[in-house]
């Protein structure tokens, strides 16, 4: 029994032992922690010492960050189109207090309390990043963001973060909070090329930063998080949603009341739409800047403070943008595409001054902010029948053919060495029998074009196209005459501009002059005329192309109200992937392309294919009506050895006894439904149509 | 085992434990730790310390990072621009100081260009021997270009072996382009001197005459024709040695025929070629053949 007696002190001793162990453990943990902290502090010191040697030197004062000179690009009328590398620095008292409150509330509401790092927020962010997989919490203060923007890449590494933190400590130590905030608001990016609050205020609202209202200021304060995603020009609603977040944070930080936030949230500030297409927002500027970079390098273009005098005609550029936007809206409707649909056809337009080669306007897509890919210069597409004028020039030059030469429109088989025969078919899939070459171009008859290229050879067509300024590589195959080689919109505009100039080639160019900051001329474009085609033969082709606009596949130009002398040619690829119209007056040559970026048919609601006449001609006409407004009307200059004759459309024979009609240049073209079936043709000395005796 | 370790015993009661925990040493360590942590949160002394240290070492650290790179880009850009501008200024100086078109062509490198003012062009043009002027620009055309108000500026661009001269109107359009080869520009005639005899040049075959006969024939030409025969005799007058024979070229170009004058000097022969008026040579040939 005595063995079984319970020792009354045993429980107490057991508890005591447990307590002892607990206290020992706590003590161990405390001292271990202390030791670890000590080691960490020592390691931190060593690390700081080690890393600080590689840390970047801080400029003093911080305002030195905006000392890069800006490069200015001017339009042909002297208006500044864009300032590259521009950083307009202003002092804090020139910034709307609403904006300062908004940016502080949004980015770092304890900015005025911490010394570079928000420790609690950092610990919280660290915890979330480590223990909540998939979530990454940012904790950068305004000072850390400034340090990152000034010195570091956007690579996310611990080492980079640590360095950024150290630099933030130094920035805080060496500058006042006001200086830091001023540097910050002057260098943050707001998208659309605007760096700094002053540029952003002028870019988006066309006003100085000090005049920003709360609604505008809050909208801008939301942009630095993701300037592209919240770009108000492109995603106005997203930008407003982001503004709501900003306003809520301002309420939380005590800068505004909830009522004020609600009232502001209901406002939709008007954007400065005129700037939308300026800055790099213009495809024209992108192409020009690329060319400048190729010539001088990025340093000179972006940091050299150069002045570039572009060929862009601001008014025509605006007209081109409007014509493309409205034309594409009409095309969407024709195709039954809803506003919200993502995959929509694109368009491009290039306008060239035929007398000099100066590019007056360029649109590389329907919306720069949706796609920066410049289809005007970087995209190559099949030109379709748009290539036929080069074929007919080659035929007139190398064979004794002329616009009144008669060919049979019939199914043909062109034998090709070492390959199956080629069976070109007419677009309309019907054949009209005999017709003169002018009629063949007017109605874009493929079977006759194929017979002509079989006669003259594809090399001659390539030769003419290249002489006219087509720079894309061309395949010397028969089908080149039907536009199966890929060419750029710029190529087509340049090529037809040479025809418009009756054989005088001017290389297209985008700027007249480049000067350095001190006004010293670095480059000057001089216009050199280079005769590449015979004027009279070129005139014959131009006369045929006038027929296209007056009676043929391009007659939509007349129907839509453009009455000036004009010539051109439509182009549609077999599968309706591309719809072109390139046309010109004596002074302006314009090429318009429409189509999908991917190979996809342009089809209307009824599933009929859309041709150049339906897709591109309305855009071309709309642009030309606007662009030629107030310009004097001019006719194509007729070379002295050209005369007009009236001939039968199918026979090519004189409709009236031959007479020299050189002094009757204004002889009107017979109407399309001319019952006599005659048409006016331009013939050179020594060329005679047949006579019906 | 040391004595301290041997004497150590675990606290027997919670009170003893509490007593040991609240020892002076423990409290001091805890207090110091708490002070350090709280004061850091309150006064940010750690950040300030690091900030001060970094400010102290600022000048010894490298200028790297985005902002310094931008500065370097700017310096590079300004240097490049200065080089370009200096090249332009140098080309401009070349244009201003050149003695002649050939001097200009020799000094202006390929791709270099400068603007030439009208007066300077006129000066260089008039410094050419009269018969060479036509090779540059037709004199009548030049009167129109310089005095007719069509030319705004004259632009000069170097190329391999010569220069291009562009007469430009106010629209920057080229109204006249002149390509000049260095070889055809020699003002002192040295390029027209060919070592050897007249027999080496096939164009004179069958048309070589003794100098005395040639000059006798010239003396029989009418005075105005004689004066117009050879436009510039500078090259011939400056040549040393004895003139032995003269060859008459067999083809005309731009209204001129080449004459070859064979000189003997220190036992060596050389031929000096000059241009002569085609119509006057035609008359001279008749005299040389005895038909005139």
Residue with tokens 């942590």: B37
pLDDT at residue A2, rounded to an integer:
44
**Residue A42 CA: distances (Å) to CA of A37, A45, A166, A408, A515:** 8, 5, 16, 96, 57
- Whether pLDDT at A436 is above 80: yes
pLDDT of residue A144: 92
**Residue A359 pLDDT exceeds 70:** yes
Is the omega angle on the peptide bond into residue A61 within 30 degrees of 0, that is, cis? yes
Q: What are the pLDDT digits (tens) for A406-417?
A: 999 999 998 888
Q: Which pLDDT score, from 0 to 100, does residue A567 have?
A: 96
Contacts from A605-611 at CB under 8 Å and sequence distance 24+?
Answer: A605/A334, A605/A335, A605/A336, A609/A572, A609/A575, A609/A576, A610/A331, A610/A334, A610/A335, A610/A576, A610/A579, A611/A427, A611/A553, A611/A570, A611/A572, A611/A576, A611/A579
User: Is the pLDDT at B91 greater than 90, yes or no?
Assistant: no
CB of A74 closer than 8 Å to CB of A81: yes
Contact between chains at A304 and B78 (C-beta distance less than 8 A): yes
Looking at residue A663, what DSSP letter applies? G
pLDDT value at A71 more than 80: yes
Determine the residue of chain B that is closest to A31 in CA distance. Answer: B29
Shortest CA distance to A558 belongs to which of A532, A537, A533, A583? Answer: A583
Cβ pair A303:B48 closer than 8 A? no
Of B29, B54, B77, the CB nearest to A166: B54
Distances from the Cα of A599 to the Cα of A544, A577, A581, angstroms: 31, 6, 19
Residues of A in contact with B70 (CB under 8 A): 68, 303
What are the distances in angstroms from CA A83 to CA A74, A78, A203, B28, B287? 9, 13, 12, 64, 77
- Using a CB–CB cutoff of 8 Å, tell me whether A59 touches chain B: yes
CA A202 to chain centre: 22
Residue of B51, B79, B175 for testing the chain A interface, max A β-carbons within 10 Å: B51
Residues of A in contact with B91 (CB under 8 A): none
DSSP type of residue A527: B
Q: Which of A8-12, A116-120, A202-206, A288-292 has the lowest mean pLDDT?
A: A8-12
Q: Which residues pair with A584 in a beta bridge?
A: A567, A589
**What tens digit of pLDDT does each residue of B55-90 get?**
899 988 888 888 888 888 888 898 999 998 888 888
Token representation of residue A682 = 């331009």
Nearest to residue A283, comparing CAs of A339, A381, A365?
A365
pLDDT at B187: 44
Which range among A55-69, A392-406, A421-435, B242-256 has the greatest average pLDDT?
A: A392-406
Lowest mean pLDDT, pick from A434-448, A622-636, A673-687, B256-270: A673-687
pLDDT of residue B140: 85
| Residue-by-residue DSSP string for B11-47 | --SHHHHHHHHT-HHHHHHHHHHHHHHHHHHHH-HHH
Of A16, A173, A302, the CB nearest to B52: A173
Please report residues of A whose CB lies closer than 8 A to that of B172: 356, 512, 524-527
A323-341 pLDDT, tens digit per residue, is 999 999 999 999 988 776 6
Alpha-carbon distance of B145 to B169, in angstroms, equals: 10
Q: Answer whether 0.95 is exceeded by the pTM.
A: no
Q: Mutate one of B47, B63, B75 to test the A interface: name it (highest A CB count within 10 A).
A: B47
Asked if pLDDT for residue A675 goes beyond 60, the answer is no
Find the mean pLDDT for residues A423-446: 90
Question: Between chains, do A151 and B166 touch, taking CB under 8 Å as contact?
Answer: no
**Segment 393-412 of chain A within 8 Å of chain B by CB:** none
* Residue A671 confidence (pLDDT): 46
Q: How far is A315 from chain B (nearest CA, A)?
A: 20
- pLDDT, one tens digit per residue, over B165-196 is 999 998 888 989 888 877 666 544 434 677 88
Q: How far is CA B180 from CA A493, B87, B93, B105, B162, in A?
A: 34, 22, 20, 8, 5
Looking at this predicted complex, what is its ipTM?
0.73
Neighbours of A156 (CB within 10 A): 8
Instruction: For residue A252, give Cα distances in angstroms to A217, A246, A483, B40, B110.
Output: 17, 10, 64, 27, 69
Structural tokens at position A262: 């609600």
Which tokens sit at A339? 């506003």
Whole-number pLDDT of residue A217: 96
Task: For residues A594 and A610, give the distance between their C-alpha atoms in angstroms, rounded to a whole number.
Answer: 10
Facing residue for B63 by CB, picked from A56, A152, A166:
A56
A521-578: pLDDT as tens digits: 899 999 999 999 999 999 999 999 999 999 999 999 999 999 999 999 999 988 899 9
* Spatial distance between the Cα atoms of A361 and A545, rounded to a whole number of angstroms: 23
pLDDT in tens, A138-191: 678 999 999 988 888 766 677 788 888 999 999 999 999 999 999 999 989 898
Contacts of B14 in chain A (CB under 8 A): 16, 19
Mean pLDDT of chain A: 88
- Residue in A closest to B20 by C-alpha: A23
Tell me which chain B residues have a C-beta less than 8 angstroms from the C-beta of A149: 66
- Closest CB from A170, A302, A512 relative to B54: A170
Q: How many CB atoms lie within 10 A of CB B167?
A: 24
Using a CB-CB cut-off of 8 Å, the residues of chain B touching A119 are 41
Predicted confidence (pLDDT) per residue in B203-247, tens digit: 888 889 999 899 888 888 888 888 778 766 777 887 888 899 999
Local structure of residue B253 (DSSP, 8 states): E
Q: Is the pLDDT of residue A661 over 60?
A: no
* pLDDT greater than 60 at residue A491: yes
What is the distance in angstroms between the CA of the first residue and the CA of the last residue of chain B?
A: 145
- Whether the per-residue pLDDT at A387 is higher than 90: the answer is yes
Contacts of B62 in chain A (CB under 8 A): 54, 56-57
Of the candidates B19, B10, B13, B8, the one whose C-alpha atom is nearest the C-alpha of residue A13 is B13
So what's the pLDDT on residue B70?
81
Pick the residue from chain A with its C-alpha nearest to B84: A522
Mean pLDDT (whole number) for A386-413: 94
Q: Which of B57, B66, B88 sits opposite A151 (nearest CB)?
A: B66
Q: Mind listing the pLDDT tens digit for each residue in A455-475?
A: 999 999 999 999 999 999 999
Residue in A523, A85, A506 with CA at minimum distance from that of residue A308 = A523
Q: Chain centroid to CA A659: how far?
A: 53
State the average pLDDT over residues A111-137.
81
Contact check, Cβ <8 Å, A56/B81? no
The partner residues of B260 in beta bridges, in order of sequence, read B247, B273
pLDDT for position A660 = 47
Please determine, for residue A486, whether its predicted confidence score (pLDDT) is greater than 80.
Answer: yes
Residues 6+ apart with CB under 8 A from A118: A108, A110, A139, A141
pLDDT value at residue B191: 46
| Cβ separation A116–B168 shorter than 8 A | no
Lowest mean pLDDT among A74-88, A247-261, A614-628, B175-189: B175-189
Query: Which residue does chain B place closest to A512, by CA atoms?
Result: B172
In angstroms, rounded to a whole number, what is the distance separating the alpha carbons of residues A615 and A592? 9
Site of tokens 């003093």 = A60
């Amino acid at each position: 029994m005595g063995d079984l007696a319970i020792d009354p002190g045993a429980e107490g001793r057991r508890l005591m032992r447990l307590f002892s162990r607990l206290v020992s453990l706590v003590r161990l943990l405390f001292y271990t922690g202390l030791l670890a902290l000590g080691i960490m502090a020592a390691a931190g010191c060593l690390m700081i010492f080690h890393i600080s040697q590689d840390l970047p030197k801080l400029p003093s004062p911080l305002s030195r960050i905006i000392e890069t000179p800006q490069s200015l690009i001017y339009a042909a009328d002297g208006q500044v189109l864009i300032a590259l590398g521009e950083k307009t620095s202003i002092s804090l008292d020139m910034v709307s207090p609403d904006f300062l409150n908004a940016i502080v509330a949004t980015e770092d509401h304890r900015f005025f309390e911490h010394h570079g790092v928000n420790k609690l927020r950092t610990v919280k962010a660290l915890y979330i990043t480590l223990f909540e997989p998939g979530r990454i919490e940012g904790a950068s203060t305004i000072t850390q963001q400034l340090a990152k923007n000034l010195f570091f890449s956007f690579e996310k590494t611990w080492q980079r973060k640590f360095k950024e933190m150290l630099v933030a400590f130094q920035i805080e130590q060496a500058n006042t909070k006001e200086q830091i905030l001023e540097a910050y608001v002057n260098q943050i990016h707001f998208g659309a090329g605007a760096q700094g609050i002053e540029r952003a205020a002028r870019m988006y609202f066309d006003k100085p930063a000090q005049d920003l209202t709360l609604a505008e200021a809050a909208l801008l304060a939301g942009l630095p998080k993701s300037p592209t995603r919240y770009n108000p020009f492109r995603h106005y609603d997203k930008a407003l949603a982001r503004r709501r977040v900003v306003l809520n944070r301002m309420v939380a930080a005590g800068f505004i009341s909830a009522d004020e936030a609600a009232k502001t949230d209901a406002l939709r500030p008007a954007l400065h739409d005129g700037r939308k297409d300026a800055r790099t927002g213009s495809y024209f500027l992108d192409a020009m800047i690329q060319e400048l970079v190729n010539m001088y390098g990025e340093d000179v273009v972006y940091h050299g403070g150069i002045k570039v005098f572009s060929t862009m005609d601001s008014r025509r550029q605006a007209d081109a943008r409007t014509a493309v936007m409205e034309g594409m809206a009409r095309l969407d409707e024709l195709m039954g595409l809803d506003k919200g649909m993502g995959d929509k056809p694109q368009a491009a337009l290039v306008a060239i001054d035929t007398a000099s080669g100066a590019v007056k306007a360029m649109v590389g897509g329907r919306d720069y902010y949706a796609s920066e890919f410049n289809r005007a210069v970087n995209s190559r597409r099949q030109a379709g029948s748009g290539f036929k004028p080069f074929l007919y020039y080659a035929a007139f030059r190398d064979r004794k053919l002329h616009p009144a030469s008669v060919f049979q429109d019939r199914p043909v088989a062109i034998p090709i060495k070492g390959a199956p025969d080629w069976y070109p078919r007419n677009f309309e899939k019907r054949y009209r029998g005999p017709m003169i070459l002018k009629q063949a171009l007017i109605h874009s008859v493929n079977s006759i074009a194929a017979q002509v290229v079989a006669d003259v050879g594809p090399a001659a067509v390539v030769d003419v196209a290249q002489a006219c300024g087509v720079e894309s590589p061309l395949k010397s195959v028969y089908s080149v005459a039907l536009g199966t080689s890929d060419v750029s919109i710029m190529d087509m505009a340049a090529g037809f501009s040479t025809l418009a100039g009756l054989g005088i080639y001017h290389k297209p160019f985008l700027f007249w002059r480049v000067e350095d900051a001190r006004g010293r001329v670095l480059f000057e474009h001089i216009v050199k005329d280079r005769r590449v085609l015979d004027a009279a033969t070129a005139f014959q082709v131009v006369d045929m192309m006038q027929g296209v606009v007056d009676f043929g596949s391009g007659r939509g130009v007349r129907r839509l109200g453009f009455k000036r002398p004009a010539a051109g040619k439509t182009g549609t690829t077999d599968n309706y992937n591309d719809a072109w119209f390139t046309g010109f007056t004596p002074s302006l040559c314009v090429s318009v392309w429409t189509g999908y970026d991917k190979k996809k048919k342009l089809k209307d609601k009824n599933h009929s294919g859309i041709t150049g006449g339906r897709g591109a001609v309305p855009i071309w006409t709309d642009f030309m009506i606007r662009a030629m407004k107030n310009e004097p009307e001019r006719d194509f200059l007729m070379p002295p050895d050209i005369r007009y004759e009236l001939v039968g459309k199918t026979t090519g024979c004189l409709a009236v006894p031959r007479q020299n009609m050189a002094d009757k240049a204004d002889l009107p073209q017979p109407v399309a439904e001319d019952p006599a079936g005659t048409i006016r043709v331009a013939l050179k000395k020594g060329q005679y149509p047949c006579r019906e005796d | 085992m040391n004595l301290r370790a041997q004497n150590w015993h675990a606290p027997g009661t919670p009170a003893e434990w509490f007593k040991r925990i609240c020892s002076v040493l423990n409290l001091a360590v805890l207090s110091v730790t708490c002070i350090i942590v709280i004061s850091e949160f309150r006064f940010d002394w750690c950040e300030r310390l690091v900030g001060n240290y970094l400010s102290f070492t600022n000048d010894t650290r490298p200028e790297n990072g985005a902002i310094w790179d931008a500065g370097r880009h700017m310096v590079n850009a300004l240097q490049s621009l200065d080089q370009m501008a200096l090249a332009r200024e140098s080309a401009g100086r070349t244009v201003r100081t050149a003695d002649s078109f050939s001097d200009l062509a020799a000094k202006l490198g390929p791709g270099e260009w400068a603007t030439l003012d009208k007066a300077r062009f006129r000066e260089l043009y008039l410094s050419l021997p009269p018969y060479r002027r036509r090779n540059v620009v037709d004199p009548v055309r030049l009167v129109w270009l310089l005095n007719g108000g069509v030319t705004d500026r004259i632009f000069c661009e170097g190329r391999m072996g010569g220069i291009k001269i562009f007469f430009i109107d106010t629209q920057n359009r080229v109204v006249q382009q002149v390509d000049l080869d260095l070889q055809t520009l020699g003002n002192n005639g040295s390029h027209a001197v060919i070592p050897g005899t007249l027999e080496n040049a096939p164009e004179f075959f069958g048309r070589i005459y003794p100098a005395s006969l040639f000059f006798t024939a010239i003396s029989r030409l009418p005075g105005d024709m004689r004066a117009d025969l050879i436009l510039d005799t500078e090259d011939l007058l400056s040549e040393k040695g004895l003139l032995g024979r003269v060859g008459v070229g067999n083809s005309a170009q731009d209204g001129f025929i080449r004459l070859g004058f064979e000189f003997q000097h220190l036992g060596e022969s050389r031929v000096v070629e000059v241009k002569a008026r085609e119509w006057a040579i035609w008359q001279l040939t008749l005299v040389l053949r005895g038909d005139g």
